[in-house]
Amino acid sequence: MDHYHAFFDLKPGVRDTELAGAVTAYMKYLKSKGLIEDWRLTRRKLGLGPRELGEFHLTMQTRDLAQLDAAFGHVAARREPAESVHFAVNSKVTNLNFALYRDFPDPVRHEGEEKF
């Protein structure tokens, strides 16, 4: 499983529940198209965490990089209805940072023949 992370803050004047509703609509759309497997929106608690990562954290899970690439391609086409649900989230956030992680060890990992 690959885990695509987005860390961000709210733009001034945006309500946190507006963001949550927009993220839910966007992620449900991507999941209904088979472009992600699952997702989760979290918020920093008690001010704990690096400030530069932002107050909110969205994690999207994909089976592999091919599924993630398909999701990027679908959204990058800038066609409806993807364009509207993406804009509904993107227009509410600032200070975006992204990361990509994978489950470890990888399912294809073999031990005993490594050279390092």
In a domain, 57, yes or no: no
Structurally, the chain folds into a number of domains equal to: 1
Bridge-based pairing of strands 56-62 and 38-43 is antiparallel
For 75-104, how does the pLDDT look when each residue is reduced to its tens digit (9 = 90+)? 999 999 999 999 999 999 999 999 999 999
Distance, CA of 26 to CA of 56 (rounded, Å): 16
In a domain, 114, yes or no: no
18's enclosing H/E stretch is helix 16-32
Q: State pTM to two decimals.
A: 0.90
Distance, CA of 6 to CA of 39 (rounded, Å): 11
Is residue 112 very low, low, confident or very high in pLDDT (cuts 50, 70, 90)? confident
For 5-42, how does the pLDDT look when each residue is reduced to its tens digit (9 = 90+)? 999 999 999 999 999 999 999 999 999 999 999 999 99
30 φ, ψ (degrees, to nearest 5): -60, -40
In a domain, 115, yes or no: no
Distance, CA of 38 to CA of 57 (rounded, Å): 14
List the CATH number of the domain containing 92. Answer: 3.30.70
| pLDDT exceeds cutoff 90 at 116 | no
Over range 58-80, report the average pLDDT.
97
